[in-house]
Amino acid sequence: MRRVFVCVAFAVLLNASVGADVVIPAGIKPLLEAHCVDCHEGASAKGALDLSAALAKGEVSESILRSLRTRLSKRDMPPADELIRPSDGEYTHAVALIDAVIAPRASEVALVRRLNRAQYANAIRDVLGAECGRAIDARELLPADEIGEGFDTTGDTLVLPALLVEKYFDAADRIASACVLAESLSKRRHFGAEKLASNGQGGAYDGAAWLATSGDLSAELEAIRSGSYRIEIEACAQQAGDEVARMAFVIDGKTLTTVDVPQHASAPGKFVQEVELTAGTHRISARFVNDFYAPNEPDSSRRDRNLGVVAIAVEGPLGLTADSEFETRAATIAGEGSNLTRLRRVAATVGEELFRRPLSKTESDALSNTAREAVGKTAPWSDQLRALLTALLVDPRFLLRVEMPFLKGETKRTLTSDELASRLSFFLWSSVPDAELRRAAKAGELADEANIRAQTRRMLMDSRANSLSTRFATQWLGIDALELKQIDPLRYPNVDVALLVSMRQETEQLFDDVVRAALPVRALLTSRTTHADARLARHYGIETTTINSARASGVLGHASVLMATSNPTRTSPVKRGKWVLQALLDDAPPPPPPGVPQLPENVEGGASVSMREMMAAHRANPDCASCHVRMDAIGLAFEKLDVDGRLRETLQGAAIDDSTVLADGTLLTGTRGVEELLAKDARFERSLARHLLVYALGRGTADADDPLVERLAASLRTHGDFATLVDGIVLSDAFRTRNDLRKSSSP
């Protein structure tokens, strides 16, 4: 079946022929005759592709030869279950012979691309200070980025539509306001009865929101800064029983104090308390704590005690506001002199950090003048500084990564030092270059390979390199949006957003160990220890950092991956098998043909049909069998790991069989079998190398990149450490030069 799949897929590609015929390299004819012609000959040729005729003619269309190159480069023709296949050297030699006839297709990154959302947020944090970084959430300010080639770093997807420009202006205003504070941020916010959320029985009348039973009336406050806040609750009551109605001030579920409320609705009382609040969202509540109801009381006015709240008002933060971290630094940069002179100094320094290159005097003067014109030349220093920061944050020189176009007659050029520094920092940190990297660029040190290696090692050890775990690894492994995963709460009641975050972090921390050279890259598949936090460890049923011997090693047993490759109500062997092929072996199967039905979501039902039986029936469809024979065999080996990553031995009362047979007849027993399969498969290093190269360059790979990818993979197999792979990428021509191959796409 595998033979049929590859031959048909091969034929489909080859038959899409266009363009003039080219000579078939003589050196590949013996390979084609030995391994391909038996399936592709005469009237019964697979996919109606008669290679024997093409060989006799000695020519074939360029598109066919390019498709043939692709198949030989991926080494998936002839099929893997063939007993006699070409050696690696024969494959490499054949590809080289084709490249000598038709130049391999090449690719180049877009000349202009914008910062993605993560790079934008990290730049704010690193340039304006952690305090400003915490004050904003880029996920709220900006929309999610488009994904290209599996990552959000791809230049061709990082365009700048008009709607996004508006978002950037709004974000700049909010960030500048958080970084450059007014003398006093004190503000009074009023929440009338109609705006209060009720947790209890009652209604609205006499100008108040009423609680007829114990409960809360609440308002949600966004505290823009930590400090002291004055809370005022205007309340009244309907009295009954022997006690006066009592109300508690409750902040985020914790009682601050309790007061008597003797006032009637005709003259509500105002009750005030001051409290220290941190920056962020808080719930302010008035709680009715002594409900009373005696329907048989003779005096009807004393039967029912209720609490009414007319309004909740919050004022704060109280008093003058201390300078922010950015303001303090800006004052140091500004020094003495007129506001214009001081503003120019800030524009030059902060502009260089945000724009990733030194600014000319003309540029810093223009930014300063723009800020002063916006607020007035006599405006206070803080207003001018806030306007300058707003101008910097909406400037295209910050939002866009621009690399110099080619001069007339140029076909290739080396990146400038500033451009290379930006590529390094956005690759390793998802942020702008720091002072040391800018210094090295300015000194011309980045023209030397030893200095590039030194900077790379320094950057990998920096905490900012955790972006390789949180951005690259999560996208490569398909767990980037794990917190949004929908799962059946009735079947998996213990899984909530917090646990999903813990699952993702376990994988990130393992990858971080690899980045910082604590573990070799193969530890991603072999590690028997975990960074699971206390709750995730309880979920797994373990008490130490060593995982249960029955669990799969490395990411193969991580709940993050198992959850991401499952359906809401059941495991998905198809998704898990596809994940292994796509992420770990860079051998993704083609998409299913149109109209092919999916497996039903619910395996359980009246007809007692196992997952294995359902998948076997699915493979009976010839349109499905060709791909599923690979995916299913691998995916079924994971069946003892449930949707939520926990071990299980039975399903619907029957013991789970996790042994399968590969297309070549190899028996695969459980996840240990998958581990053994991957242990001897050199494609893992190639997959990691190619995916990291795509992430680093911000573009997909093309035929011309194959030699580089193979060199990176070979070096990684030899040395086994992540830094070696990074060195190979950053020292490559693909990373350090530009080629004039096509018109660069730009926003």
- 406: helix, strand or coil: coil
3-state helix, strand, coil in the chain (%, to 5): 50, 15, 35
Above 60 in pLDDT, residue 16? Answer: no
Give pLDDT, residue 605. Answer: 45
Query: In terms of pTM, does the model score above 0.95?
Result: no
Q: How far apart are the first and last CA of the chain?
A: 46
Average pLDDT, the chain: 88
DSSP β-bridge partners for residue 311: 192, 234
Question: Which residue type occupies 431?
Answer: S
Phi, psi torsion values for 221, nearest 5 degrees: -110, 135
Task: Give residue-wise pLDDT tens across range 570-627.
Answer: 999 999 999 999 999 998 887 766 655 665 655 544 445 566 666 565 555 555 555 6
Sorted by sequence, the CB contacts under 8 Å of residue 566 that are 6+ apart come out as 487, 572, 575, 576, 643
What are the structural domain ranges in the chain?
A: 2-101, 187-316, 575-675
Least confident span in 16-25, 527-536, 702-711: 16-25
Least confident span in 31-40, 167-176, 302-311, 366-375: 31-40
With tokens 């997959």, the residue in question is: 687
Give pLDDT, residue 184. Answer: 75
Give pLDDT, residue 130. Answer: 82
Give pLDDT, residue 602. Answer: 58
Give pLDDT, residue 262. Answer: 97
Bridge-based pairing state of the strands 215-223 and 197-199: antiparallel
Top-confidence residue, 736 or 44: 736
Tokens of 247: 């109300």
Give pLDDT, residue 264. Answer: 94
Q: How many CA atoms lie within 13 A of 737 on its CB side?
A: 12
Above 90 in pLDDT, residue 632? Answer: no
| Residue 698 contacts residue 427 (beta carbons within 8 Å) | no
Task: Give residue-wise pLDDT tens across range 432-450.
Answer: 999 999 999 999 999 999 9
Above 80 in pLDDT, residue 745? Answer: no
Give pLDDT, residue 628. Answer: 62
Interior/surface letters 16-53, b for 16+ CB within 10 angstroms, e for the rest: ebeeeebebbeebbebbeebbbebbbeeebbbebbbbe
Domain range 187-316, its CATH number among 3.40.50.300, 3.40.50.720, 2.60.120.260, 2.10.109.10: 2.60.120.260
Please report which confidence band the pLDDT of residue 133 belongs to, taking 50, 70 and 90 as the band edges: confident
Task: Give residue-wise pLDDT tens across range 189-206.
Answer: 999 999 999 999 999 998
DSSP β-bridge partners for residue 232: 272, 313
Identify the CA nearest to 456 among candidates 513, 517, 388: 517
Give pLDDT, residue 298. Answer: 85
Above 50 in pLDDT, residue 743? Answer: no
Per-residue pLDDT averaged across 464-479, rounded? 98
| Residue 174 contacts residue 141 (beta carbons within 8 Å) | yes
Give pLDDT, residue 44. Answer: 67
Q: How many CB atoms lie within 10 A of CB 645?
A: 23
Task: Give residue-wise pLDDT tens across range 654-709.
Answer: 999 999 988 778 899 999 999 999 999 999 999 999 999 999 999 999 999 999 99
Give pLDDT, residue 666. Answer: 84
> Among 9-13, 73-77, 302-306, which range has the highest average pLDDT?
302-306
| DSSP states of 196-243 | -EEESS--EETTEEEESSSEEEEEEEEESSSEEEEEEEEEEEE-BTTB
Q: Cα 43 to the chain's mean position, in Å?
A: 50
